[in-house]
Structure 1
């Protein structure tokens, strides 16, 4: 079946001096942040993609960023033993929160409460009170890394992807484990709930994209060999009808969020895509532009448009 989309690369953003590991939304739909192995945190404007503003520089690799719109803060998770809270209005570090000595692989925020979840490379999950700016709970979930976190839209539970191949469903307040999903055969690098909360989607080092029916005790719904290598990230279109995956196989793929069918492949051969692993995605509300970042030190901005019939 022919794809309903046309894809155009509209910008290649350069400036990072090493692998770019993460991209994160900004205050406006046209703004986003990026960071990676060079420790530089840059702010970009999709209306002026040629220029970036350096907003922070930390001493080690950054795998995770999280923007907090109410406070206009950016949480910076780097490879040392702390979490930096950057006040974007003041352009200054609001607080450095001490953490265990481990890489920070993911940071997610509760839908309605001032709580953040932090996944660490030592297998710990931390609960951060965003009003007190302190860790109020920690649990050891595995001897291996906590790689990814997703918060259910209703806010009662979270899903955590681990390097020991499991997905754990936890109570969002107490962090007690409610269920373990054991179907992947590799590290679970990314988990995401559909906007309705009906399904959980997971991607792994085993290259499989799996969907779980959250409303039916997380029964496995579909399992697809979606990429050639590790699936690094899943992100949803702002309207929730599409989602995108990216992979160590250098490609980005677009999927239907209702049928979980593949709609489009964005790669180097056909679209001058990335030359190495694609690490993270951000789907902007600004003209539906999809942003991808890569080990090739670049960030690409893609325009997807429906074909004329």
Structure 2
């Protein structure tokens, strides 16, 4: 189902972030280096350093032809991909920014991180619009529901907070995990929200009422990313335990483990991020070992 086909080397330090490029076979990576790197899945090779950065990159997010680069310094850079230049620097957060998402129907960008606030920006002119406190500690991850009506925030206190996207009013709080929440993802069908935590558990919440319907002892250590396949009924998780796991998104069964400890190809340190290629043919993983690994997906 997942077969290792390439390891891409070049980063000198741990990698924290991945994002797909508009071109179907290109993607970006960034971390504790001094730049954002572009790679090609077609040639399985380094393309270029896209843009230099002044501090570690904790998150990348692409929307249309913009790449948003969230940094440890609190700055968010906006890079125009066709023009190949920085078009804005968003300066509001005083501490590291851990996640960024766009709400297309509102033309808004939202960001959060170590300062515990959610900041809202206009995509029309990148002006700062609004902020509100979530908790007095780190908010690690943002997920946007498929209909763009609800925002889920996962925080250090183990609570998932659900907000209405229209006015950012708090809808509910889910006392979810015994450790900080480190990953959150709505399913493509819009019937589940899945959360992962430093407590190594995956929790499955049924929508629309966010009823807890499954609790999975998924990994040995914190779960740092959850990535749904774009078309097939599977999702992948990665962890501080150096393992990648493939799960069924309907039956929540474990179908594949990729780990050096299981005598497969794998990462030698914590895995920090996973994404699928646009067409779902490849899973891309990266982490503290400074490697980007590419896995070919098949239904057999």
TM-score scaled by length of structure 2: 0.96
1:221 is aligned to 2:213: yes
Question: Which of 107, 113, 136 is the aligned partner of 2:129?
Answer: 136
Q: Which runs of 5+ in 1 are unaligned?
A: none
Q: Distance in 1 between matches of 2:61 and 2:273?
A: 13
**Deviation sequence 1:152-187 (CA, Å, 0-9, x none):** 111111100001111000011221111000020001
How is 1:108-127 mapped onto 2 (pairs within 5 angstroms)?
A: 108-127=101-120
Q: CA deviation at 1:286?
A: 4.2
2:231 aligned counterpart, secondary structure: coil
Question: Which of 149, 167, 171 is the aligned partner of 1:178?
Answer: 171
Runs of 4 or more, structure 1, over 3 Å off, are none
1:38 is aligned to 2:33: yes
Over the aligned positions, Cα root-mean-square deviation in angstroms equals: 1.2
Q: Distance in 1 between matches of 2:173 and 2:290?
A: 36
Contact 1:253–1:262 (Cα < 8 Å) also in 2: yes
Aligned residues, how many? 299
Corresponding residue of 2:298: 305
Q: CA deviation at 1:223?
A: 0.5
Q: Distance in 1 between matches of 2:48 and 2:159?
A: 39
**Deviation sequence 1:75-98 (CA, Å, 0-9, x none):** 110111321101112211101111
Contact 1:111–1:154 (Cα < 8 Å) also in 2: no
Q: Which runs of 5+ in 2 are unaligned?
A: none
Q: CA deviation at 1:51?
A: 2.1
**Deviation sequence 1:190-243 (CA, Å, 0-9, x none):** 11101121110000000000010122x211110111000000000111105111
1:112 aligned counterpart, secondary structure: helix
Distance 1:283 1:224, change over 3 A: same
Corresponding residue of 1:235: 227
How is 1:23-102 mapped onto 2 (pairs within 5 angstroms)?
A: 23-69=18-64, 72-102=65-95
Q: Distance in 2 between matches of 1:52 and 1:189?
A: 30
1:159 is aligned to 2:149: no
Q: Distance in 2 between matches of 1:201 and 1:286?
A: 22
Question: Which of 272, 291, 294 is the aligned partner of 2:284?
Answer: 291
Q: Distance in 2 between matches of 1:234 and 1:251?
A: 13
Q: CA deviation at 1:292?
A: 0.1
Q: Distance in 2 between matches of 1:73 and 1:113?
A: 16
Q: Mean alpha-carbon deviation: is it higher for 128-137 or for 244-253?
A: 128-137
Question: Which of 244, 260, 265 is the aligned partner of 1:272?
Answer: 265
Contact 2:229–2:280 (Cα < 8 Å) also in 1: no
Q: Mean alpha-carbon deviation: is it higher for 8-17 or for 289-298?
A: 8-17
TM-score scaled by length of structure 1: 0.94
